[in-house]
Amino acid sequence: MKRTLIATALAFAISGCATIVGSTTQSVTIKSVPEGANISITNRAGEKIHTGMTPATITLKKSAGYFKAESYTVKFQKDGYEAKELIVSGQVNGWYFGNIIFGGLIVGMLIVDPMTGAMFSLSPDTIDAGLDAVGAKTSKADGSLTVVLLEDVPAELMQHARRLN
């Protein structure tokens, strides 16, 4: 029992808390309405790291270097619809601060977690992009609501429509 406690304490002392609990990569789910949109993902350096179609689940690195969170631009394209871009960015996660509590202050906070990228989480981890039809007459008050005439909604989108009561 005493050996187990010593081994556990040693593991926390020589590694980072976020590295123990998390990982250097994260899965991000990408969907669109309508489905079947082409996606391309580029990192903060402008390198294209993935191309495919929705829906997809992609594993992305959380770090772009020492103490540098990665960010990604996800571009959606589909014939008959306006292209759309969304951002996935990294933020410091709570487990990184566990180094203060569990004694990994120097090694965990300053070396291991920053080098591995485990100190970051990507957000959002699920993207559900609604694509606007080309030429659709829309009105956006604050970017959160789109109003269209029923006859301007493509049949493919109408399959996902539901009546609100």
**Structural domains present in the chain:** 2-131 (2.60.40), 133-165 (no CATH)
Per-residue confidence at 95, pLDDT binned at 50, 70, 90? low
DSSP string for 39-83: EEEEETTS-EEEEEESSEEEEEESEEETTEE-EEEEEEE-TTB--
In this predicted model, what pLDDT tens digit does every residue of 121-137 receive, in sequence order? 889 999 999 999 887 65
100's enclosing H/E stretch is helix 98-102
Task: State how far the alpha carbon of 100 is from the alpha carbons of 17, 48, 56, 96, 97, in Å.
Answer: 9, 37, 37, 8, 6
pLDDT at 8: 46
What residues does 75 pair with on adjacent strands?
40, 85
Closest of 161, 144, 130, 121 to residue 24, by C-alpha: 121
Quote the pTM value.
Answer: 0.64
Residue 103 backbone phi and psi in degrees, to 5:
85, 15
Residue pair 89/122 in contact by the 8 Å Cβ criterion: yes
Q: Which of 65-69, 102-106, 120-124, 128-132 has the lowest mean pLDDT?
A: 102-106
Query: What are 99's two structure tokens?
Result: 């180094």
Query: What are 50's two structure tokens?
Result: 């993935």
pLDDT at 163: 76
Query: What contacts 29, CB < 8 A, 6 or more positions away?
Result: 55, 56, 57, 125, 126, 127
Query: What are 147's two structure tokens?
Result: 């109003």
